[in-house]
């Protein structure tokens, strides 16, 4: 996965912070504390680092749409198995 090089909104460079952010958060440190200690105070920059693919996949586990999608797929296959 490629780290975010710059903030998507303001363009501030963030690529040099990615490895330290990733390492410290994976060791259990709070993302809020890590971002503050790295000097990332703008909410747009914080969002850019927090919403990378790694964290999006973690958050997606709790999405109601995923469960709804699975329910629709199961229903579709059950209907088509009966008709076959």
Q: How confident is the model at residue 35 (pLDDT cuts 50, 70, 90)?
A: very high
Q: Would you say the C-alpha torsion 59, 33, 2, 4 has a positive or negative sign? A: positive
CB 12 within 8 A of CB 57: no
Please compute the mean of the pLDDT values over residues 69-76 and round it to a whole number: 74
- Closest of 68, 23, 16 to residue 4, by C-alpha: 16
Task: Quote the pLDDT of residue 52.
Answer: 76
pLDDT at 53: 61
With 0-12 / 13-18 / 19 or more C-beta atoms within 10 angstroms meaning exposed / middle / buried, residue 49 is: buried
pLDDT single digits (tens) 5-18:
999 899 999 999 99
Q: What is the pLDDT of residue 57?
A: 63
Average pLDDT of the chain to the nearest whole number: 82
Give tens-digit pLDDT for 36-55: 999 999 999 999 988 876 66
């Amino acid at each position: 996965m490629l780290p975010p090089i710059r903030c998507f909104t303001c363009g501030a460079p963030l690529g040099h912070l990615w490895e330290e952010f990733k390492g410290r958060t994976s060791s259990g440190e709070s993302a809020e504390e890590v971002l503050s200690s790295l000097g990332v105070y703008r909410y747009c920059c914080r969002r850019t680092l927090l919403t990378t693919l790694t964290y999006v996949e973690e958050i997606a586990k709790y999405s109601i749409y995923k469960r709804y999608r699975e329910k629709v797929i199961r229903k579709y296959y059950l209907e088509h198995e009966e008709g076959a």
